Copies of this chain bind each other. A is one copy, B any other.
Amino acid sequence: MREDYDPEDAAAWAARLGAADVAAAAERIARSVVHTPTLRCPRLDALAEAPVELFLKAENMQRIGAFKARGAMHAVGRLEPEQRARGIITFSSGNHAQAVALAAREFGVQARIAMPVDAPAVKLAVVRELGAQVVLAGTSSDHRKAAALELQAQTGGTIIEPFDHPDIVCGQGTATAELIAAAGGSLDAIVVPVGGGGVIAGACLAARGVAEDRRPRIFSVEPAGCDALAASLEAGARVDVPPGPTLADGLKPVRVGALNFEIARRDLAGSFRVDDEALGRALVQVLARAKVLVEPSGAAGVAVALGQARALREAVGVEDRPLRVGVILTGGNVDPKLVAKLIEQWSAQA
């Protein structure tokens, strides 16, 4: 049964949720998602400015090429038959649209998805191929959300939020739970890219399952200029940050989710920012050394773990051994032409 969540109660939810909720989500979605590998690559570690051992959670190999499949499968799977009958609705320009369309197909539910009029043809095609109905709506996130609310009024369907909902957060948290288990419970830190904050909130919940003295510290990473979470944490309340330009098109929310902010403010150990140079370089380093393709958003954690390793080690307080850092490679959906361009630009440093 779907959690009955109201953002007004976000703080209470943030206090109440925990690793058991993530474990329950993992059990529910086990047959619908890929248990992605956790990769080690000492030759990638060697590029860090200070000693680290990276554990790469390869969500780029998840269904639809991104962790979003986890939350969508979980949220759609928890709907009651009468909710399913009225269909589901969402709004997204990217991976969440594909994830919801896929989940809808798996559960035999009609999906209606508001997407921007300037969405790439290939993204529209994938969503339609999965059987979802696309409603084109303006160019901004506000346009899309308004269109989704209109669809809800017309159909009585259920909106599947992109990130601000306990079902989504617990679904995304399963990636971190698998990462912690794969690393034998021995991680010092986990660096998580933040868009709306679903995956980092889930990471915090998953980490609550580890005894406090061994619990990995959770750090956020956002593109410089798209730092809605870091700005909110600094302000002590959710603030809007109109996103500046960034290679990381998956990390451009105007604001983070209410629940996600409340969880992050309780649990987060610190925040990092990365620029486009660091993202492009990290993408090519991961490709050349670990042999996996990530989207720029997915390279953000690696950019911190390699390029800001000293600050990370200092924040955790490890001095006498390599820092064991988990990194969520959040997705791999990137325009191949951009990959070719970044290789030309950065392969000498890979």
Q: Beyond A288-B336, A293-B292, A343-B336, is A61–B34 a contact (Cβ under 8 Å)?
A: no
Of the candidates A65, A290, A336, A341, the one having the most CB atoms from chain B within 10 angstroms of its own CB is A336
Can you list the 6 inter-chain pairs with the closest CB atoms, starting with the nearest? A336-B347, A37-B37, A291-B332, A340-B340, A340-B343, A291-B293
- Compute how far the CA of A314 lies from the CA of B19 in the bound complex, rounded to whole angstroms: 49
- Compute how far the CA of A40 lies from the CA of B337 in the bound complex, rounded to whole angstroms: 25
Interface contacts beyond A287-B293, A287-B339, A339-B343: sample of 10 additional A-B pairs, CB < 8 Å, sorted by A: A39-B61, A43-B65, A284-B336, A291-B293, A292-B293, A293-B293, A336-B347, A336-B350, A337-B343, A337-B344
Closest chain B residue to A34 by CB distance? B40
Q: Which of A79-101 contact B (CB under 8 A)?
A: none
Closest chain B residue to A60 by CB distance? B291
Q: Which residues of B contact A350 (CB under 8 A)?
A: 336
- Compute how far the CA of A60 lies from the CA of B293 in the bound complex, rounded to whole angstroms: 13
Closest chain B residue to A64 by CB distance? B43
Interface residues of A, dominant DSSP: helix
Closest chain B residue to A36 by CB distance? B37
> Nearest Cβ in chain B — how far from A117, in angstroms?
24
A340-B344 in contact (CB<8A): yes
Q: Which of A281-332 contact B (CB under 8 A)?
A: 284, 287-288, 290-294, 332
Scoring A residues 167 to 195 as 1 if CB is less than 8 Å from chain B, else 0, what string do you get?
00000000000000000000000000000
> Nearest Cβ in chain B — how far from A54, in angstroms?
13
- Compute how far the CA of A332 lies from the CA of B291 in the bound complex, rounded to whole angstroms: 6
**A12 at the B interface (CB under 8 A):** no
Q: Which residues of B contact A119 (CB under 8 A)?
A: none
- Compute how far the CA of A104 lies from the CA of B41 in the bound complex, rounded to whole angstroms: 20
Q: Which residues of B contact A347 (CB under 8 A)?
A: 336-337, 340
Q: Beyond A60-B291, A291-B293, is A39–B40 a contact (Cβ under 8 Å)?
A: no
Q: 10 A-B pairs, CB-CB below 8 angstroms? A: A37-B39, A41-B61, A58-B291, A287-B293, A291-B292, A292-B292, A293-B293, A337-B343, A337-B347, A339-B343
Q: Which residues of B contact A341 (CB under 8 A)?
A: 340
Q: Which residues of B contact A339 (CB under 8 A)?
A: 287, 340, 343
